[in-house]
Amino acid sequence: MLAAVLALAGTPFAYAQSSNPAWLDQLSEQLAVEEQCAVDYFLNIKEGELAGRLTFEARAQCADGRQFDGALTEPADKFIISKCGVQVC
């Protein structure tokens, strides 16, 4: 039960901690245009800094089951999008 509560509580906190949550909207819009992906939700939302530049990363789950990773390092204005596929180790 506690794990379920923590899992449900994790998403709002990820948005609340974001210094600029608008970047998720930007990623969602870019995925809709470039990949015809209607984003259901985001996973692994990360913000950071690399060499003094802000970085943004997230995995998007599309309504049709596909997943994409999006990454942006400022001053870039578009995300680098890569499709998540089956990986064999």
> How far does Cα 37 stand from its chain's mean position?
13
**Mean pLDDT, range 74-80, rounded to an integer:** 96
Q: What is the pLDDT of residues 11-56, one digit of tens each?
A: 433 333 455 579 999 999 999 999 999 999 999 999 999 999 999 9
The region, left, alpha or beta by phi > 0 then psi within -120 to 50, assigned to residue 52 is left
Q: 57 pLDDT band (50/70/90 cuts)?
A: very high
Instruction: Give the residue-averaged pLDDT of 69-82.
Output: 96
